[in-house]
Structure 1
Amino acid sequence: MIALIARDLRLAFRAGGGFGLGLVFFLILATLVPLAVGPRPTLLAPTAAGVLWLGALLACLLSLDRLFALDQEDGSLDLIATAPLPLEGVAAAKALVHWLTTGLPLTLIAPGLSLLLFLPTAAMPWLVISLALGTPALSWIGTFGAALTVGLKRGSLLLSLLVLPLYIPTLVFGAEVVRRGGEGLSVATPLALLAGITLGCIAILPFATAAALRVNLR
């Protein structure tokens, strides 16, 4: 499993591997929103949490179609499926690599970009906490969607249609954590729900992803 993670990390950092695509999109979104609506703190601050979380969600979505498609195109997915590592471990490794190359960098740069949207200072720690807690769920859900659509023509469009509705609870609770944290309210309930979603995804979705891969590889 460690060898598979190292291999996918090397591929992600190579040209065309997808690393940096989500970061660039996140940066563009955070820059264009103030330009579009005007640099008015009274307008941007109330919506900053939602905009940042939506940007992170869409940035995670950009590289999902590469998770299994590249391996399927060069035939290495068949070799991985016959390796001693169970497909559940393969699914978990793919999701972890996606989070390390997309979710984690987004979490780290989010505080800097939040300044462009006039996010309240009190909300910045909660933005980092919510992204660190919620973006793994986006990666695990996305990996499941990528497994469902691997090998399909125009699979990226179908992948988006499948995954986006599943992302909604994470988006809602993640943005709510940031909003409540900025207003000085209790964040216990949305934070617990966000953590529950992520833990449930990590526990269940590798098995669902492995089942989808077995069906598509027959």
Structure 2
Amino acid sequence: MIALLMRDLRLAVRAGGGFGLGLAFFLIVVTLVPFAVGPRGDLHSVIAPGILWLGALLACLLSLDRIFALDHEDGSLDLLATAPLPLEALTAVKALAHWLTTGLPLVLAAPVLAVLLSLPGEGYLPLTLSLALGTPALSVIGTFGAALTVGIRRGGLLLSLLVLPLYVPTLIFGAEAARRGAEGQDYAMPLLMLAGITCGTIALLPFASAAVVRVNLR
């Protein structure tokens, strides 16, 4: 599993499978929002949690279609499916690699980019915690969507349409936790709900993703 993880990380760096792309998109979104809204720091601080979370969600969405696409194109996916490693572990490793190359950089960059949106000081910790808890769910759900569309030519748009509705609960609770923290309110409940969503997706969706990959490879 470690060898497969390192292989996926190297592919992400060499083939542009999301490493740096999501972070650049996140930076562009956060930078353009103040220009679009205008020089209103009070408004920026109000919308900052939602904008940061929406930017992170869309940045994660950019590289989902490449999770299985490269392996399917060169035939590696068929070999991996017949390897001793269970397909459930394969999909879990794919999701972990996507999070390490896309989600983790967003978590680390969010507090820095929040300065551009005048996020109150109380909001930095809940924002970081919510992204750290929520972005793994985005990667796992995205891996399931990528498994559904593997082998479909130009399936990127279909993948987005399938995955975006599944992202909505994570977006709601993640942005709510960041908003409550920025306003000085208790944000424990949204964080617990977000942690529950992430734990549920990690526990269930690798099995669903593996079953879908088996069907698509027949």
Shorter-chain TM-score: which interval?
A: over 0.9
In 1, the alpha carbon distance for the partners of 2:125 and 2:197 equals 20
In 2, the alpha carbon distance for the partners of 1:187 and 1:37 equals 27
- Paired position in structure 1 for 2:202: 202
In 2, the alpha carbon distance for the partners of 1:87 and 1:106 equals 28
The TM-score normalised by the length of structure 2 is: 0.98
- Paired position in structure 2 for 1:129: 129
- Paired position in structure 2 for 1:120: 120
- Paired position in structure 2 for 1:10: 10
- Paired position in structure 2 for 1:212: 212
Residue 144 in 1 paired to residue 136 in 2?
A: no
Which AA in structure 1 matches 2:186? S
In 1, the alpha carbon distance for the partners of 2:17 and 2:49 equals 29
Aligned residues: 218
In 2, the alpha carbon distance for the partners of 1:207 and 1:143 equals 11
Residue 190 in 1 paired to residue 190 in 2?
A: yes
In 2, the alpha carbon distance for the partners of 1:27 and 1:134 equals 19
In 2, the alpha carbon distance for the partners of 1:213 and 1:60 equals 21
SS of 1:42's partner is helix
Which AA in structure 1 matches 2:87? L
1:147-190 deviation digits (Å, cap 9, x = unpaired): 00000122111100000000000000000001111111111211
Report matched runs for 1:1-218 at 5 Å: 1-218=1-218
Which AA in structure 2 matches 1:119? L
In 2, the alpha carbon distance for the partners of 1:182 and 1:28 equals 23
In 1, the alpha carbon distance for the partners of 2:104 and 2:17 equals 16
SS of 1:105's partner is helix
Which AA in structure 2 matches 1:46? V
Which AA in structure 2 matches 1:53? W
SS of 1:146's partner is helix
SS of 1:18's partner is coil
1:27-50 deviation digits (Å, cap 9, x = unpaired): 000100001111211111110000
SS of 1:184's partner is coil
SS of 2:181's partner is helix
The TM-score normalised by the length of structure 1 is: 0.98
CA apart distance, 1:18: 2.5
Which AA in structure 1 matches 2:22? G
SS of 1:83's partner is coil
CA apart distance, 1:15: 4.3
1:100-144 deviation digits (Å, cap 9, x = unpaired): 000000000000100101111100111100000000000000000
